[in-house]
C-alpha cells in the first residue's frame, strides 16, 4: 500500500482542482451503523412506510418515520469524525480541496472542520429538519426535544405543515442545486478521489465517470471493489481512515510541512 499512498499524495500535490467523493464507508468507520446491513434499523421497519409519497399522505407513516428517524439520529449525533474526515479537513486548510461531494447525512465533514461552501450534501442532512409546505428549516435537536416531550409527528410553527429531517427519502427528488453543482465540479476537476463509497447508488456512480471522461485522474479508496475500479488510476481496497492518514502524512512531507516528528 505504501507505493500507492505515495503516488496518490504526489497527485494531490500536483492537482489544481481535487474533488473528494465520500460515502457510507466513512460513516461506518465513525461507528454509525449502516442501516442497510442485516440487523440494521431497516429490519424492524417496513421500507414501504418510508417512501416520500407515504410520508406526505399519511399521518400514520409520519409517526413511524419519526420513530425510525429518532432511532437512527442518536448514534449519528454521538459520532465523531475519524482520521479520514480529519485528513479531508486538513486538505482544505492546505488549500488542496476544491470540494467534498458526500452521500452521507451525518454532518461529520463539518464536525471535522470543513467549511460549508466546500461540502455538497447530495442526500441532504440529518442535522436539520424542514417543513414540507413552506420549507422553513429547523435545527434537528430542537425538533428531537419535541419528540422527547411526546410529539409523534412534529409540524411547522408557521404553517402547520409536516416536518421531516432534511434528508432525501426514497421517491423524493434529488436536490437540484446540489446535484448540478456536484456534476459541474466533477466535470472540471483534475483529480477525483472516491473514499468509502461502493458507487452503486445513482447518481454517485456516474460522477467518477464524468471526471474521468474530462481528463481527471481517478483514485478509489474503498474496502470492497466498486464497479469503477477498472477505470481508476489507483485503487486501494482498505479502510479509509488509516489510508487517508498515510496519504496526508506523505502530502505534508512533500509540501515540507511538519517533519517526521512534527504535528499531525
d(CA 223, CA 220): 10
Cis peptide before 68 (omega within 30 of 0): no
Choosing from 3, 85, 109, 123, which is the catalytic residue?
123
Distances (CA, A) of 217 to 123, 149, 166, 187, 222: 25, 51, 33, 12, 16
d(CA 82, CA 31): 9
Pick the closer one to Zn ion by CB: 166 or 218: 166
Residue written as grid cell 489510508: 243
Minimal distance in Å, beta carbon 170 to Zn ion? Answer: 23
Minimal distance in Å, beta carbon 133 to Zn ion? Answer: 5
Minimal distance in Å, beta carbon 254 to Zn ion? Answer: 51
d(CA 178, CA 204): 12
Pick the closer one to Zn ion by CB: 75 or 161: 161
Q: Under the rule (CB under 5 A), what is the footprint of Zn ion?
A: 131, 133-134, 136, 156, 158-159, 161
Minimal distance in Å, beta carbon 151 to Zn ion? Answer: 15
123 is catalytic: yes
Pick the closer one to Zn ion by CB: 132 or 147: 132
d(CA 9, CA 93): 16
Q: In what order do the strands lie in the sheet with 124-131?
A: 137-139, 124-131, 163-167
* Axis-axis angle for helices 140-148, 59-78 (nearest 10): 120
Pick the closer one to Zn ion by CB: 160 or 258: 160
- Catalytic site residues? 123
Amino acid at each position: 500500500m505504501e507505493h500507492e499512498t505515495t503516488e496518490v499524495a504526489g497527485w494531490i500535490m500536483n492537482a489544481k482542482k481535487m474533488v473528494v467523493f465520500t460515502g457510507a464507508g466513512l460513516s461506518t468507520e465513525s461507528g454509525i451503523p449502516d442501516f442497510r446491513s442485516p440487523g440494521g434499523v431497516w429490519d424492524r421497519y417496513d421500507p414501504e412506510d418510508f417512501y416520500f409519497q407515504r410520508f406526505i399522505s399519511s399521518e400514520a407513516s409520519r409517526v413511524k418515520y419519526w420513530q425510525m428517524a429518532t432511532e437512527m439520529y442518536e448514534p449519528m449525533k454521538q459520532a465523531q469524525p475519524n482520521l479520514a474526515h480529519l485528513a479531508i479537513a486538513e486538505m482544505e486548510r492546505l488549500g488542496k480541496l476544491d470540494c467534498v461531494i458526500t452521500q452521507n447525512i451525518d454532518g461529520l465533514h463539518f464536525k471535522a472542520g470543513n467549511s460549508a461552501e466546500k461540502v455538497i450534501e447530495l442526500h441532504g442532512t440529518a442535522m436539520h429538519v424542514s417543513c414540507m409546505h413552506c420549507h422553513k428549516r429547523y435545527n434537528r435537536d430542537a425538533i428531537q426535544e419535541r419528540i422527547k416531550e411526546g410529539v409523534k409527528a412534529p409540524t411547522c410553527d408557521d404553517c402547520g405543515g409536516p416536518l421531516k429531517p432534511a434528508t432525501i427519502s426514497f421517491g423524493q427528488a434529488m436536490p437540484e442545486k446540489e446535484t448540478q453543482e456536484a456534476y459541474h465540479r466533477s466535470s472540471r476537476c483534475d483529480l477525483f478521489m472516491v473514499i468509502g463509497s461502493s458507487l452503486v447508488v445513482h447518481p454517485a456512480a456516474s460522477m467518477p465517470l464524468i471526471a474521468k471522461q474530462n481528463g481527471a485522474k481517478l483514485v478509489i479508496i474503498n474496502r470492497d471493489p466498486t464497479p469503477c475500479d477498472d477505470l481508476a488510476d489507483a485503487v486501494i481496497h482498505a479502510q479509509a481512515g488509516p489510508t487517508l492518514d498515510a496519504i496526508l502524512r506523505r502530502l505534508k512531507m512533500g509540501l515540507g510541512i511538519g517533519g517526521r516528528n512534527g504535528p499531525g
